[in-house]
Every structure is written in structure tokens, then in C-alpha cells.
Amino acid sequence: MTDHFAVLGVERRPAVAELALQGAYYEKTRLLHPDRAQGSDFAAVNAAFQVISNPATRIRHLLKLEFGNQEVRQIGNELGGLFGTMASVLQRADQELASVSGQTSPVIRALAFQRLDSLRDALADAEKQLVERESDLQSQIAAVDQIWFRDRDRCQKSLAQIAADLTFVQKWLAQVRERKTRLEELF
């Protein structure tokens, strides 16, 4: 298995400073760019950056390197209520978007525009909740990072759950934003 931390030359840990990561990436790409270095593995640097720059994939990669495959596939208790909210908002958005996108009448579309105000608000609220949860998970990563070098075994389970939760939050956030974009494109 490729150690993406080593490819970029960054320390193997749960939290990686964004500026340090970007600096390492730019330096590696500058040195290994195909126009400058023959036979370089430029693609490996890009792949490593993709993995390490996303906190969820970085943590999963770190856990695989340190402990083997340690993935958690279920959301934590804290996300249980949010799951129902996201499912409801996304389902409503899909139904409304399907209903409105098939309409060609300007009058019906104008009426739908007024009806969709509450959907816009629901999507904005869902996005706000997800951004807050993502921020909370980032804080949890920073807290675990503080004890990483002293007691990695103690960090293992909590990091696996953070990675799972963060993956769900990122997925939901992308879905909410995609629905918001599609809604705005209709009008």
C-alpha cells in the first residue's frame, strides 16, 4: 500500500495543516512535473494530495497504515437525528424539482417559485447544520491529534468513527448543495 503521507513528505498524523500540505504538494509537483523530470511519478503526488487533503480519506488512510483496515460503516449516535432530517429534505427537494422541471408554462413556474421558498429555506438550514457538524468533527480531529503521538491505540476507535461521520456529512453536504444549485437553475 502506498503511504500518501510519505509521497508528499508530510508527517503521518490525523490533522495536517492546510498550508503545510499545500506547500508540500506544490514543491513536489514543481520538482516532479513531467516537463522537468523524466520518469517522475507526478500522478502519485496528485493521488496522494487528493487523499491527504480530505480529512475523512486522510484518517481512513492513516488507520489503514497504522492498524490495517479499521473502517466504521455506520454513523454515530450524534448523526442519527440528522440522518432523518437530511433524508426528508433531500426527498422533498427531489420531488419538488421533478415536479417543477417538467413544467413549461411560465405561470405555473412562477407559482412554483413562490411555493419553493420554504424548500430553499429548508435546504439552507440543512446546509447550515451540516457545516456546523463538519466543523465539530474537524475540532474532534484536532483534539485526537493532540494525543496521537502519545497513545495511538486510544485514538483508533474514535478516529474511525470520526472518519465515518465525516464521510456521511460530506456526502449529505454535497447532495444539499447540488439540490440548491438545481433549484436556482430552474428560475
Most confident residue range from 24-33, 74-83, 107-116, 134-143: 134-143
The dihedral formed by the CA atoms of 97, 98, 100 and 105, expressed in degrees to the nearest 10: 150
Chain centroid offset of residue 180 CA: 17
Distance CA 115, CA 93 (A): 12
Distance CA 183, CA 115 (A): 12
Q: What is the mean pLDDT of residues 80-89?
A: 90
Distance CA 56, CA 60 (A): 6
Q: Which alpha helices (DSSP H) does the chain contain, by range? A: 4-8, 18-32, 42-53, 55-67, 77-101, 106-115, 117-147, 152-186
Choice among 11-15, 28-32, 83-87, 109-113 with the minimum mean pLDDT: 109-113
Distance CA 137, CA 3 (A): 24
Give per-residue pLDDT as tens, 90-132. 999 998 888 887 777 777 777 777 778 889 999 999 999 999 9
Distance CA 91, CA 83 (A): 12
Distance CA 144, CA 158 (A): 8
- pLDDT for res 63: 94
